Structure 1
Amino acid sequence: MTASPAPRSSKADLRVSTGLSFAAGFVDTATFIALFGLFTAHVTGNFVLIGAELVASSTEGVLAKLLALPAFIAAVAAARLIALALERRGIAPLRWLLTLEAVMLAAFCAAGVAGSPFASADGLAAILTGMLGVLAMGVQNAVARLSLSHLAQTTVMTGNVTQAVIDTVDLLRGALPEGSPARGRLGRMMPAIAAFAAGAVAGAFGVAVLSFWCLLLPVALLAALAASEGA
């Protein structure tokens, strides 16, 4: 019989979720600037840009945005299968999925450093580099669903902001008594929102100053989060 994974603390989960939110904001913003408007952390933005570019005078970069969806799906599916295999052995998958994301981000960073500056969004080097970023963020989206589903989303902030505003309005009008589940939910949402915003600002300045080398920061962050899971 396999052993059950050790119980987790809510503080540990919140720490990981907040770190992942910062990483997502950082990577998505840096990639958007460096790779001709490609979103890596979520695919919705790419769909919007595809529609916009198809009616524009130029369709440069559409191929990478089209390939982002199957790459994203492949990453989520692989993460799910890895998690299932680990769980069958009584191993909590979070540490290993964080490690996988760190490795993918490191590969993304290396490919970007080797290939930049990219001459075209439709060049093979730019597309392959972008897909490595999409794979890494696909793994992170899976982590949020598989291991941290009780917390705020770490890559797409629209739902988080909407719920946080609703809960804040209810709090200000005195409709949330002490111990209300909504108060706890608000406490889980705000760190993710703030961390994502901070990551987006840091990613913009990072890529402007250091180009793809700036991705070493989220790589180090993911590695630290993975290491803390084994402590």
Structure 2
Amino acid sequence: MEVKHNIGFVTLLLTMIAGYCDTVTFVAAGSIFSAHVTGNFIVFAYQFVKGSDMNAWVKLLTFPVFILAVIVGGRIAAKVLNHYTILFWEGLLLFLAGILVAVLSYNGVFTEVMMYTVVMITVFAMGLQNAFGKLYAKETHGPTTMMTGNVTQASLDFGNLIKNKFKDPDSWVSLKKQLITILGFLVGCFLGAYAGKQFGLVTLVFPGLAMIICFYYHRKN
């Protein structure tokens, strides 16, 4: 089986994981976005003018961490043949982040510093996913961590369908692809919000396992 037959599945998985991680860190770790790192600028600015403490400055650290992750993703891609190696490392980081939370919480030493450390590991993992999307654009239906472009394309497709009385096959195909990305991200957000509120950052093990399984599946096909 060729990888191209699994584009829909890979797209759905990646968007769900991005939505999940983004929401888990926002809910369980001081309102920090791990996928939409530019959103942290908005939250930081809001907290700054509201007179928040120095912890608000931590949000700015997500930007250089994200940049470093994308650079590393590019280096990995240059040295391997399997495109999904980047996703393996992403999954491993998320899995280890969740395990770290579990171990530290069990021993009663999960401090605020460790919480931010886990968040930055998650940001790094999302940076790798962004690098994957840019380097291997044909492996997915579109960006998997930022939905603005996908919503824009879906809106254009829908407009074309209205214009052509819903008889434009190309617009239908494109719209279906965009819906996979948008709905996948939305589902991931709901799951991440629930998991983050009920169980916290330890639930990062689940997207980590999913990504690792995805890598081994595509390694065999």
TM-score (norm 2): 0.89
SS in 2 for 1:154: coil
Q: Percent identity?
A: 29
- Amino acid of the residue matched to residue 150 of structure 2? N
Kept after mapping to 1: 8 A contact 2:133/2:144: yes
> For residues 120 and 62 of structure 2, what CA distance do their matches in structure 1 show?
6
Match of 2:16 among 8, 13, 22: 22
**C-alpha separation between the residues in 1 aligned to 2:68 and 2:109?**
25
* Correspondence list, 1:219-230, <5 A: 219-230=208-219
Whole-angstrom CA distance in 2 between matches of 1:154 and 1:118: 34
Match of 1:160 in 2: 150
2:109, 2:177 → 1: CA distance?
Answer: 39
Say whether residues 1:58 and 2:52 are aligned partners: yes
Note if contact 2:11-2:141 (Cα within 8 Å) is conserved in structure 1.
yes
Partner of 2:177: 188
**Structure 1, 157-166 or 142-151: larger mean CA deviation:** 142-151
- Aligned partner of 2:159 in structure 1 is 169
Q: Separation in 2 of the partners of 1:109 and 1:205?
A: 16
Q: How does 1:207-226 map to 2 (within 5 A)?
A: 207-226=196-215
Tell me the distance in 1 between the aligned counterparts of 2:144 and 2:40.
Answer: 18
Select the structure that is richer in helix. 2
| Partner in structure 1 of residue 34 of structure 2 | 40
Of 194, 197, 200 in structure 2, the residue corresponding to residue 205 of structure 1 is 194
Report if the CA contact (8 A) 2:101-2:110 is conserved. Answer: no
> What amino acid is aligned across from residue 51 of structure 2 in structure 1?
S
Amino acid at match of 1:83: A
Q: Distance in 1 between matches of 2:31 and 2:38?
A: 13
- Counterpart residue identity of residue 64, structure 1: V
| CA–CA separation in structure 1 for the residues paired with 2:6 and 2:201 | 30
- Conserved? CA contact 1:118–1:126, under 8 Å: no
| Residue in 1 that maps onto 2:131 | 142
Report how many residues are paired: 217
The question of whether the paired residues in 2 share the 8 Å contact of 1:41 and 1:155 is answered with yes
Residue matched to 2:113? 124
Matched AA of 1:23 = I
Change (3 A) 1:132 1:227: same
Task: Provide the aligned C-alpha RMSD in A.
Answer: 2.3
Q: What is the match of residue 3 of structure 1? A: none
1:77 aligns with 2:78: no
How much has 1:185 moved relative to structure 2?
A: 2.2
How far residue 44 of structure 1 moved from its aligned partner, in angstroms, is 1.3
User: Could you say if the C-alpha distance between residues 119 and 217 of structure 1 is closer, same or farther in structure 2, counting changes exceeding 3 Å?
Assistant: closer
Q: Which amino acid aligns with 2:125?
A: A
CA distance in 2, matches of 1:41, 1:100: 16
| Structure 1 residues 212 and 39: CA distance shift in structure 2, 3 A | same
Shift of 1:137: 0.5
When the two structures are superposed, what TM-score results if normalisation uses the length of structure 1?
Answer: 0.85
Question: Gapped runs of 5+ residues in structure 2?
Answer: none
Separation (CA, whole Å) in 1 of partners of 2:30 and 2:62? 13
Residue 110 to residue 186, structure 1, CA distance change in 2 (3 Å): same
Deviation string 1:154-189 (CA, Å, 9 cap, x unpaired) is 111111112212211221231675442x33322221
**Cα deviation per residue 1:41-66 (whole Å; 9 max; x = unaligned)?**
12111111121121112134323211
Conserved 8 A contact 2:18-2:144: yes
Shift of 1:14: 2.2
Greater alpha carbon shift after TM alignment, 37-46 vs 213-222: 213-222
- Large movers: runs of 4+ above 6 Å: 117-120
Q: Is the 8 A contact 2:70 2:128 kept in 1?
A: yes
